[in-house]
Amino acid sequence: MAIVTENGTGKADAESYITVAAADTRHAAFGNTAWAALDTAAKESALRNATAYMLQSFRSRWTGFRVLLTQSLDWPRWQVVVDGFYIPSDAVPAEIANACADLALRASTETLAADLTRGIVREKVGPLETEFDPFSPQQTRYRAVDMMLAPYLKGSSSMATLVRA
């Protein structure tokens, strides 16, 4: 079954923020040969997984509001302002689509939201010993994606001026 891509109309059956062809173009531009080696079905599966991860990770953090109650994805949105400009409410911003493509590349080889287990504090095997920082995050963070999406997230890049009366 071909993947259904959000085109800015708020589709009720959309499964991805970016088409396979657009993801192919992005990955080719960045020299990501691992993506080119995948067949279409694997690319579609990776895009679905990336979109699901974005829904789970960012749903409560996006600025603005979903356009339609019936839309399946978080975009398109209205009342989203980036760098002082309103983002059209009938479009998926390029950064959202590109983040989906970047996450799809990772989703093709790993689980994006893997289950968490207890961290190892100390492990000794013969003369080798490993101790992990108990305060470091156990879940992988995709910093490049977080930075790309920051202008679209609440409390990430906007500042307000406080004026005392």
- Listed by start position, the domains of the chain span 20-115+143-152
Give the pLDDT of residue 115: 73
β-pairing, 65-66 vs 128-130, is unpaired
What phi and psi values does residue 133 have, to the nearest 5 degrees?
-65, 120
Poorest-pLDDT segment among 39-43, 52-56, 101-105, 139-143: 139-143
153-162 pLDDT, tens digit each? 987 544 555 5
For residue 88, give the 3-state DSSP assignment: coil
The confidence band for 50, taking pLDDT boundaries of 50, 70 and 90, is very high
Q: Higher confidence at residue 55 or residue 160?
A: 55
Token reading at 8: 């800015």
Give the pLDDT of residue 120: 64
The confidence band for 18, taking pLDDT boundaries of 50, 70 and 90, is very high
Q: Is the pLDDT of residue 24 over 50?
A: yes
- Whole-structure pTM value: 0.80
Give the pLDDT of residue 140: 74
How far is 140 from 116, CA to CA, in rounded Å? 10
Cβ-contact 30, 102 below 8 angstroms: no
Counting other chains too, the contacts that 132-141 makes at CB distance below 8 Å and 24 or more residues apart are 139/113, 139/114, 140/112, 140/114
For residue 62, give the 3-state DSSP assignment: strand
68-127 pLDDT, tens digit each? 999 999 999 999 999 999 999 999 999 999 999 999 999 999 999 877 665 666 677 888
Closest CA to 18 of 89, 93, 113: 93
Q: Residue type at 107?
A: A
Q: Higher confidence at residue 133 or residue 2?
A: 2
Token reading at 106: 């990772």
Give the pLDDT of residue 157: 47
DSSP one-letter string for 106-159: HHTTS-TTPPP-PPPS-EEETTEEE---TTS-SS---HHHHHHHGGGBTTTS--
128-164 pLDDT, tens digit each? 877 766 676 667 778 889 888 998 998 754 455 556 7
